[in-house]
Amino acid sequence: MAERLVLYLWKYDQEKLDDFSEILRDLKKNIHYCKQCFNISENGLCAICSDNRRDQETICVVEEPLDIIALEKTRRMHGLYHVLGGTINSPTDKNSPLKIKELLARLKKEKISEVIIATNPTTEGEATALYLARFIKPLNIKTTRLARGLPTGGDIEYADEATLGGAIEGRKKI
Amino acid sequence: MAERLVLYLWKYDQEKLDDFSEILRDLKKNIHYCKQCFNISENGLCAICSDNRRDQETICVVEEPLDIIALEKTRRMHGLYHVLGGTINSPTDKNSPLKIKELLARLKKEKISEVIIATNPTTEGEATALYLARFIKPLNIKTTRLARGLPTGGDIEYADEATLGGAIEGRKKI
């Protein structure tokens, strides 16, 4: 990975390399966590939290900032986000607990109509989703989870049993 | 593939090889299509169609016999099957049309409460599902499709846009 990166950068002209070097130097100075959703941000509030055209009543809870990038690419998520910083069993940053308290504070303070829990479809992600749902339920906010099922372009013959079982359970009318 | 198979079989003892050789020789003589669902079968009716403990009111429509094996492994499918023999754009056997007429005959003759369309989550599979649904709708039978969504153990960050979009659309209350 390091070799690939060096060979790739080596083909850049000097000006680009200087720019890149400067950005790298100031990375920790310029990139912070959004104070509302804990996404990465260049300002106090990230680009999504400070965009008032977005649906302010929907919060999508994710494990990591990279999940936001993937969800944004679908163009089907129009609300705000909240980055937990890992799962209940494995917080990304050992020194910093998951941002659950901060999520609940947002839910109590603002008028939220739906929380979409978009933790990963893994054992840890599922456990975290259920753990969160227990706290959100008493607040009477609609809580949903991304669908489990067959990935687009996949093949039933080669699907694992858990995925296929989930796809049968979650089957939809057409 | 052929080399692997030879090296694998070469380690068998002679008796096993003789058995295997005999089975291969009689394959076309002993294996037929089930006359009801077109699954492979050693008799006129396959093991599933002739098992009267199975739910006789649910038919799951698949592209190929191998899909049945995958679905059976989940232990969540308790009804009967119907093998189409491919998709509308690509029948497996060019000389034999898809078994759609035969499916509709079963739906009209027997008391069926649900048809689960389990064609693959591909463009061809989707087109086939919609095509079938058009014929089944006038019969007033509940028609469902396996859920699209995130595969178990997957990662949102690496999920393709179509899969993630499907998972957002199909999100479920928890």
Encode pLDDT of A93-120 as tens digits. Answer: 677 789 999 999 999 998 999 999 999 9
Is B169 in Cβ contact with A160 (below 8 Å)? no
Q: Which one of A74, A146, A156 has the shortest CB-CB distance to B171?
A: A146
Is B147 in Cβ contact with A169 (below 8 Å)? yes
In a domain, A153, yes or no: no
Res A71: pLDDT: 95
Q: Which of B75, B137, B148, B158 to mutate to test the interface with A (most CBs of A within 10 A)?
A: B148
Would you say residue B136 has pLDDT above 90? yes
> What percentage of residues in chain A have a pLDDT greater than 70?
99
Is A150 in Cβ contact with B170 (below 8 Å)? no
In a domain, A84, yes or no: yes
Considering only CB atoms, which chain A residues are within 8 Å of B151?
Answer: 121, 148-151, 154, 159-160, 163
CB-based burial label for A32 (10 Å; 0-12, 13-18, 19+) = middle
Greater pLDDT, A126 or A90: A126
C-alpha distance from B170 to closest chain A C-alpha (Å): 5
Q: Distance between CA A122 and CA A92 in Å, rounded?
A: 15
Considering only CB atoms, which chain B residues are within 8 Å of A159?
Answer: 70, 151
Report the candidate in A57, A74, A67, A117 with the shortest Cα–Cα distance to residue A92: A67
Report the candidate in B131, A138, A12, B7 with the shortest Cα–Cα distance to residue A21: A12
> How many domains in chain B?
1
Mean pLDDT of B97-124: 94
Residue A58: how many CA atoms within 13 Å on its side-chain side?
Answer: 15
- Are A117 and A143 in contact by the 8 Å Cβ rule? The answer is yes
Considering only CB atoms, which chain A residues are within 8 Å of B165?
Answer: 74-76
Give residues with Cβ within 8 angstroms of B68, minimum separation 6.
B39, B48, B62, B81, B83
pLDDT category at B30 given cuts 50, 70, 90 is confident
In a domain, B96, yes or no: yes
Res A145: pLDDT: 94
Is B169 in Cβ contact with A152 (below 8 Å)? no
| pLDDT (tens digit per residue) in A1-45 | 788 888 888 888 899 899 988 888 888 888 899 999 999 999 899
Q: Distance between CA B63 and CA B83 in Å, rounded?
A: 6
Is B166 in Cβ contact with A153 (below 8 Å)? no
In a domain, A32, yes or no: no
CA distances, A161 to each of A16, A108, A157, B166 (Å): 49, 39, 10, 20
In a domain, B122, yes or no: yes
Is A164 in Cβ contact with B70 (below 8 Å)? yes
Task: Supply the range of the domain harboring residue A139.
Answer: 54-147
Is B146 in Cβ contact with A147 (below 8 Å)? no
Overall residue count recorded for chain B in this entry? 174
Considering only CB atoms, which chain A residues are within 8 Å of B153?
Answer: 121-122, 160, 162
**In this structure, is the dihedral angle defined by the CA atoms of residues B14, B17, B23 and B25, taken in order, positive or negative?**
negative
Res A139: pLDDT: 94
Q: Which amino acid appears at position B168 of this protein?
A: I
Tell me what the pLDDT averaged over chain B comes to: 91
Please tell me the pTM assigned to this model.
0.80
Q: Which one of B76, B120, B152 has the shortest CB-CB distance to A168?
A: B76
Res A4: pLDDT: 87
pLDDT category at B114 given cuts 50, 70, 90 is very high
Collapsing DSSP to helix, strand or coil, A1 comes out as coil
Res B3: pLDDT: 87
C-alpha distance from B86 to closest chain A C-alpha (Å): 13
pLDDT category at B27 given cuts 50, 70, 90 is confident
Considering only CB atoms, which chain A residues are within 8 Å of B164?
Answer: 70-71, 73-74, 146
Q: How many CB pairs under 8 A join A and B?
A: 204
For A18, the token pair is: 């200087």
pLDDT category at A86 given cuts 50, 70, 90 is very high
In a domain, B172, yes or no: no
Q: Distance between CA B106 and CA B58 in Å, rounded?
A: 11
- Are A96 and A67 in contact by the 8 Å Cβ rule? The answer is no
Would you say residue A92 has pLDDT above 80? no
For A21, the token pair is: 């070097």
C-alpha distance from B125 to closest chain A C-alpha (Å): 9
In a domain, B59, yes or no: yes
Q: Which amino acid appears at position B13 of this protein?
A: D
In a domain, A38, yes or no: no
| pLDDT (tens digit per residue) in B115-134 | 999 999 999 999 999 999 99
Greater pLDDT, B10 or B139: B139
| pLDDT (tens digit per residue) in B55-99 | 999 999 999 999 999 999 999 999 999 999 999 987 776 777 899
- Are B64 and B92 in contact by the 8 Å Cβ rule? The answer is yes
Q: What is the largest CA-CA distance in chain B?
A: 59
Q: How many CB atoms lie within 10 A of CB A84?
A: 24
Q: Residue B92 belongs to a domain with what CATH number?
A: 3.40.1360.10
Is A151 in Cβ contact with B150 (below 8 Å)? yes
Res A5: pLDDT: 84
